[in-house]
A and B are shown apart, each in its own frame.
Chain A
């Protein structure tokens, strides 16, 4: 079982590298899809159907939207500038990260055996009686930790408002001279214009 997970993880890493290095925008979008669908399979193997459903559906949606958005653009390749100094610095930092990550992974608890068990055990034993929901994941999301869900909804709302504001076509106003407010000493024309009615 863990071998399958390892293979899928390596597959995901290869897919993300291809997505970064590919020069064609469409093929890099499809390689990003590899990462998402492999993650969905991993969730399913670990016994989390809730998250697997969400992962697969969101991945399909992102693929459709990204393909629809990239297929109309002619921006296929990005010119690369290769400098030695940033490459060397990032390699050094990556090596340091690998060394520290090795020691950190040694200290982690065994796979599938999380350390703080009290909260999870309480949810599993009393979740169905206390909330009435048979699906424990929903009970945790919408009853025990409803604040989390509210935060997620807020993040989603903010991102959608942001994309609406930045990408909309309609309602974008061109700046005219009437909109600019003049500050300072008034010139003769402005005085005439302002006091025309008097």
Chain B
């Protein structure tokens, strides 16, 4: 929180202090809602993909409001790609665990009690893996499109630089 206070007073990076203050209060609620949608995907509407996109929206709001310094310090591009790859591997691993019960993606764990959080075997684990993967990858797309790439105009500049050198 101390760091966020410093960012709110610093008017150079990001948007106005009003937006920063609102984002600071809304931030936790967005992350809790995203985590809820991911974790309760097998009981209520939602699931790994929708919850992952909500979590990624949280990171994107943080980056837009406070500038890229705070956003990258929470989830850098390197960690985003590492999280993306490891979550994809986790999802595949859950699929391969199914071989112990017969075939690919068998639901080998116990079904549990109805409407309980720890029920439905491997489905919540799959949801968590997909949620992590979608969070990391959507945030990585945002980073490449808006912060690193500067999109089309910068690409055109690069191309012109390259042709001039040759």
Q: Contacts A53-B46, A164-B140; is A73 near B153 (CB within 8 Å)?
A: yes
A142 partner, pick from B127, B138, B149, beta carbons under 8 A: B127
Residues from chain B with a CB closer than 8 A to the CB of A135 are 41-45, 47
Q: How many A-B residue pairs have CB under 8 A?
A: 153
The answer to whether A146 and B95 have CB atoms under 8 Å apart is: yes
**What bracket does the count of chain A residues touching chain B fall in?**
35 or more
Q: Give chain B interface residues in 136-150, CB to chain A under 8 Å.
A: 137-138, 140-142, 144-146, 148-150
Q: How far is the CA of A57 from the CA of B134 in the complex (A)?
A: 13
Residue pair A57, B145 in contact (C-beta under 8 Å): no
Bin the interface of chain B by size.
35 or more
**Distance to closest chain A CB from B112 (angstroms):** 6
Whole-angstrom CA separation of A152 from B153 in the bound complex: 31
B76 at the interface (CB under 8 A from A): no
Q: Are B88 and A157 in contact (CB under 8 A)?
A: yes
**Which of A137, A146, A167 is in CB contact (< 8 Å) with B145?**
A167
Q: Which residues of A contact B (CB under 8 A)?
A: 49-50, 53-54, 57-58, 60-61, 64-65, 68-70, 72-75, 128, 131-135, 137-139, 141-143, 146-147, 149-150, 152-153, 156-157, 160, 163-164, 167-170, 172, 174
